[in-house]
A and B are shown apart, each in its own frame.
Chain A
Amino acid sequence: MTYSMKKIVPSLFTIAAGIILAGCASAGVRNPSGVPVTRMGADEQGFVAGTGVESQDLVNVTDKMARSILSIPQIANAQGTPRVVLDPVKNNTRFPINKDMFLTRIRVELNSQARGKVLFLARERMAALEHERDLKQSGAVTSSSDPRAVEFKGADFFLTGQLDSLTSRTSAGTSDYVLYTFQLIDARTSDIVWEDKAEVKKQGLEDAAYR
């Protein structure tokens, strides 16, 4: 190969490599690779959007709620042991979720931390419990106490909650704010004896290939 060819050929390959590697069909597209989801404080100004309720939200929110409930006088200084029934959480967000998990986790946290200061009533099991009572009353099974006595406890409080969300969507991405609110309601007077909240804001942007 002559001297000029020795110079030309490598140059051609370099140019070709430059065309292949440096060029990008995504030229002119903003954030072509998308932007990973970032967690933000609820009071921060965001730029993009969207993700939903995730496990870390569930853990953080329910931890906060459980600690908060234990400190109220109606629980901390209660005469006797208050009984609590879980009332289903309302989902007003745009995310379909297993909303029962929130109250379930709060209940588990309270049961493990409260050391008997508060008891929960298994109202979701009433059908099975009543069936068992009926069996005892009919003599079909044994009973360690008088099966005719009404021993199912009434609720002193209802624990319930609500999830609300605000969503924004632009070409820059999607932003979701979720407000979690929980209440403890006096079953006798309907007083809201305790209420607390948690809020999470997230934003994200999908890859340009999906826009």
Chain B
Amino acid sequence: MKLSTGLGLAGAILLAGCATPKKYTFAPTGDPLADGRTAIAQGPPQDKVLWEYRTAAVCMRRAQFAEAKSLLDDALLTLGGINGKDSGAKKARGYFHEESKKTFIGEPYERVMAYYYRGILYWMDGEPDNARACFRSGQLIDSDTENKQYAADYVLLDYLDGFATVKLAGDGSDALKRAQTEARLGPPPAYNPKANTLVFLEFGRGPGKYAAGEYGEQLRFREGSAATRGAVVQAGSQNVRVGPYDDVSFQATTRGGRVMDHILGNKAVFKSSTDIAGNAALLGGVVAASNRRTQEIGLGLVAAGVLTKIISSATTPAADVRAWDNLPQYLSFAALELPPGEQTVTVQFVDASGRPLPNGVRQAKIQVVPGHDTVLFFSDQAS
């Protein structure tokens, strides 16, 4: 067999798995809702859940709850179906496919937030038991941390689990106790079973992701930030000051290492080793080939070196840094007991000193109905 034919064949074999992917292009309009819808409809399939997450958050902030519900239901359907064989995930574990080729479902803190938002929407629809189910699923997702100190430590998920149980005429004391024990930013109050207006709040911009390491094989998280550190919720004669209960960046950074980190580490070692071996073979081959007595061996080594360098080049240890990048930094909650009839609920976001923030007022007119919880959602972010 000719050497050139052999090298060509080797290159073709290696590159066959790297066929030029279908390009997805669409012009962004600048409106995150419109762009999100377009990305969901026309973007790469493996990014669909990511765009559903992002767009759902935008819908929540714009009070377009029906659309948020639809998006989250579809995303959670994908999330719930990840057991067993997944060809995309299998490829992502291979040497020559990037991790970002797998279907995005998010890191645990992102999956938790999908359940959290969906739980809020269930409660809005008068289904506190299904809301509680979402909060419980979220807490379960957070239970598999590397350091068990940080397992299932979302304050609001436990608190809301217990509150929903109280609303369903059950005993929520265990969940309340867990929530108050886990609280780092401030303990949540005891339940008021008569509270009929539930105000969900979120502040700031949450964590981001970036890659570190020689080949970008290490997934790292960039902490978010928030000028808002609390809110004053006013309705009727009531003025309630609330602070954050959960820190999303804290949850992202305390989950610990992933199994995938081990796989990417192996890929990085393989890439480095084959690169070094390729260099050695090329150098040795060139030296050997310069001597007529060892020329054939030298050419063989050069061929091997080229092949090894191709393999090294094709190895993709880069971590997946796709992120649900419009999550909030902080989560908060308030429960009010209001008389039946029309009410106006006003939220003023404040900084750490309690000073009102500019553009930090949100308001909603509601109709309080006996026997039914009114659920409100406010964010200090526009989208």
Contact = CB atoms under 8 A, between A and B. Distances in A.
B300 A29 contact: no
Interface string B1-16: 1110010011001100
B190 to A, nearest CB: 22
Nearest to A88: B129
B140 A94 contact: yes
A8 B300 contact: yes
B93 A4 contact: no
Contacts of B254: none
Given A29-B262, A51-B80, A210-B105, A92 B129 contact: yes
B90 interface: yes
Interface string B60-91: 00000000000000000000101111100110
Contact of B133 (A16, A24, A91, A171): A91
A26 B93 contact: yes
Interface stretch (A30-38, A74-82, A128-136, A187-195): A30-38
A96 B311 contact: no
Describe A's contact surface by its main secondary structure.
mixed
Given A95-B133, A97-B130, A26 B140 contact: no
Interface in B281-307: 296-297, 299-300, 303-304, 307
A43 B135 CA distance: 28
Given A12-B307, A20-B95, A51-B80, A207 B3 contact: no
A94 B90 contact: no
Interface in A166-211: 167, 169-171, 174, 204-211
A161 interface: no
B136 interface: yes
A8 B305 CA distance: 13
A1 B263 CA distance: 41
B90 A207 contact: yes
A204 B84 contact: yes
A37 B84 contact: yes
A151 B105 CA distance: 55
Contacts of A51: 80, 83
B122 interface: yes
B95 A169 contact: no
Interface string A91-132: 111111101000000000000000000000000000000000
B260 A209 contact: yes
B84 A34 contact: yes
B360 interface: no
Contacts of A23: 95, 270
B113 interface: no
B308 A16 contact: yes
A28 to B, nearest CB: 6
B92 interface: yes
Contact of B83 (A5, A29, A37, A91): A37
Contacts of B300: 4-5, 8-9, 12
Contact of A36 (B83, B132, B134): B83
B118 interface: yes
Contacts of B222: none
B258 A211 contact: yes
A148 interface: no
A170 B140 CA distance: 10
Contact of B137 (A6, A9, A24, A94): A94
A136 B90 CA distance: 66
Given A5-B296, A94-B140, A169-B140, A211 B3 contact: no
A7 B291 CA distance: 20
* Residue from A94, A95, A97 having most chain B Cβ neighbours under 10 A: A94
Contact of B3 (A9, A36, A97): A9
B369 interface: no
Given A36-B83, A171-B144, A19 B274 contact: yes
B38 interface: no
Contact of A34 (B86, B95, B105, B303): B86
Given A1-B3, A207-B85, A211-B260, A16 B311 contact: yes
A144 interface: no
23 contacts: A1-B2, A8-B300, A9-B1, A12-B6, A13-B6, A20-B13, A20-B14, A25-B95, A26-B93, A27-B266, A28-B262, A33-B90, A34-B84, A37-B84, A51-B80, A96-B130, A204-B84, A207-B84, A207-B86, A209-B86, A209-B260, A209-B263, A210-B260
Interface of B: 1-3, 6, 9-10, 13-14, 80, 82-86, 89-90, 92-96, 99, 102, 105, 118-119, 122, 127, 129-134, 136-137, 140, 143-144, 168, 258-260, 262-264, 266-267, 270, 274, 296-297, 299-300, 303-304, 307-308, 311, 317
Interface of A: 1-2, 4-6, 8-10, 12-13, 15-17, 19-20, 23-29, 32-37, 50-52, 90-97, 99, 167, 169-171, 174, 204-211
Given A91-B130, A96-B130, A209-B90, 14 more contacts: A1-B1, A1-B2, A8-B300, A19-B274, A20-B13, A20-B311, A28-B266, A37-B83, A51-B80, A52-B80, A96-B119, A205-B83, A208-B259, A209-B102
